[in-house]
Homo-oligomer: A and B are copies of this chain.
Amino acid sequence: MTLPPGNTHILRIECDDEKGLVHKVTGVLYKDGLNVVQNDEFVDREGGRFFMRTEFSGAPDAKKIIRALRARLPSGASLELLKDRNKAIVIFATQEPHCLGDLLLRHAYGELHADVLAVVSNHEKLKDLAAKFKIPFHHVPYENREKKASEAAILKILNRRRPELIVLAKYMRILSKEFVNRFPNRIINIHHSFLPAFAGKNPYQQAAVRGVKIIGATAHYVSEALDQGPIIAQGVIPVDHSHSVTDMAQAGRDVEKIVLARALKLAFEERIFVSGNKTILFD
């Protein structure tokens, strides 16, 4: 569903499950005269948790609504009431232009639902690409440097830019646990394999060695454990024996950029809940 133009808000709720939650939540919005545009809910029966995302139009008195919901929902409920608007992001990349270029194109033509504040890279190769689209480019080299020093330099940039989300668009360095833990569920990575197959280095090489007939890409939140964070989106394409590692990498690029864009659309439109190591997507 497209977000309708104008004054759209998104209500996100996560709490322990109990009977009547949908009735109670929709009641609060109804009594305030707000118009529900889209409503999605999900109950994780194993965990006994309730998740709900409601998009509505109208001019809400946010404090009043939150207060009314608090009074009706189980204690400890997580509640967010957000105006639907572009997210502020910083994109990290290394040398490959296809994901970054694709995002900058979408951004330039108003299709990203995000404002790209800056590009950070450990190489200089993509500087020109960022410049074409007039996006600030920060070169933070990695070679001959402690990871700590490099990440400190990046953090300084982020402290200044203040992105809501960080997008790793083929950023080929592993971020430290300390860095990752500063941005829980706020870093999204595109990994060039169909995770959990071929985590880690050189997934296309691994895929060629294993002789798989389908390769893929996975967009996921970055967590402490490498390539093991909650998966947001995955895509695949067929390959065959004639594909060298280079061919696979080339074929894989189109999947990577499409899967990353799909995951970001979900994130920017506040359609993702993270529950344990899984995502719940209200698409």
A interface residues, Cβ below 8 angstroms from B: 1-2, 19-20, 22-23, 26-27, 29-30, 33, 35-36, 39, 41-42, 44, 97-98, 101-102, 105, 108-109, 111, 129, 132-133, 194-198, 209-214, 216, 230-236, 240-244, 246-247, 250, 254, 258, 261, 275, 277-281
Contact = CB atoms under 8 A, between A and B. Distances in A.
A4 B199 CA distance: 29
A23 B19 contact: no
A274 B134 CA distance: 43
Number of copies of this protein chain within its complex: 4
A245 to B, nearest CB: 10
Contact of A102 (B105, B210, B216, B277): B105
A50 B91 CA distance: 41
Given A19-B30, A109-B97, A241-B281, A210 B231 contact: yes
19 contacts: A1-B247, A2-B250, A19-B35, A20-B26, A23-B27, A23-B29, A23-B30, A97-B108, A101-B108, A105-B105, A111-B250, A132-B132, A194-B194, A194-B214, A212-B231, A213-B232, A240-B281, A254-B258, A254-B261
A154 B26 CA distance: 49
A278 B241 contact: yes
Contacts of A261: 254
B97 A101 contact: no
Contacts of A281: 240-241
Contact of A194 (B44, B197, B278): B197
A280 B26 contact: no
A43 B44 CA distance: 25
Given A22-B36, A194-B197, A197-B197, A231 B254 contact: no
Closest 10 CB pairs of A and B: A211-B278, A23-B26, A20-B30, A197-B197, A101-B105, A241-B280, A132-B132, A213-B234, A23-B30, A22-B26
A209 to B, nearest CB: 8
B241 A42 contact: yes
Nearest to A134: B132
A211 B230 contact: yes
A214 B230 contact: no
Contacts of A109: 97-98, 101
Given A19-B33, A23-B26, A231 B211 contact: yes
Contacts of A26: 20, 22-23, 26
